[in-house]
Amino acid sequence: MAAVAAVRQMEDEPLLNAGIGATLNSDGEVELDAGVMEGAGLRAGGAACLRDVRHPIDLAVAVMEDGRHVLLAAAGASRFAREHGLEMCDPSIFITDRKRQELLHGADTVGAVARDSDGHLAVAVSTGGRTGKLPGRIGDSPIPGAGLYADDRFGAVCGTGLGEAFIRLGLARLMVIELQHGMDGASVAKGAIDHLGQAMHAQGGVILIPREGAPHAAFNTPAMPWAMAQ
């Protein structure tokens, strides 16, 4: 899955808030979340509060493929990862430059949306969450309908920003509903960010790819680097 491959690579980039180099919680530790969803069968998997799983996105995929649950967290998620042969690690591997990580207040979640030649859609997301978050906090990234959503009939979405706001609004699912109602992708992306700012007074960004046509992005943060490939 191209979306998963892209996110997996970004989990290895210390400058991004996912995997190595992710933000620290209030105890000075890294806790990671990740989620994935396929639009063909609405299959989804998420993993949260991870400390010793080398690639959280791999665990999200394993949860999705196992199929019994959608979201696993903390020690139970790590046990599931070990039982399924995923790469584990010492939690210290994620902490690179402690001072830099402590300053990552505006750090972005990483995510990717993809559409293949058969029209199938997928989305993958990974994050370290908010700097200084309470231990055990779970954001929007592993939650279908909040930080990600994919439906082959309409489109796929991923988001970055204040996770609590995305959860309260169900923003990713809302965007796909608007695509379902015939709105164009650019308007849906811009409208979602306007709604995020007006309803929640929150910052963030979204990337979406509709069932047909080009991908779109929108954000109300100072910047949100993104790219597309065909």
Active site residues: 109
Nearest in space to 228 (alpha carbons), one of 210, 209, 211, 204: 209
- Going from the C-alpha of 219 to that of each of 64, 84, 203, the distances in angstroms are 29, 37, 8
**What burial class does residue 229 get, using C-beta atoms within 10 Å of its C-beta: 0-12 exposed, 13-18 middle, 19+ buried?**
exposed
Q: What are phi and psi of 83, to 5 degrees?
A: -65, -25
Q: Tell me how far apart the alpha carbons of residues 16 and 28 are, in angstroms, rounded to a whole number.
A: 17
Nearest in space to 110 (alpha carbons), one of 211, 22, 169: 22
Nearest in space to 104 (alpha carbons), one of 19, 21, 42, 189: 21
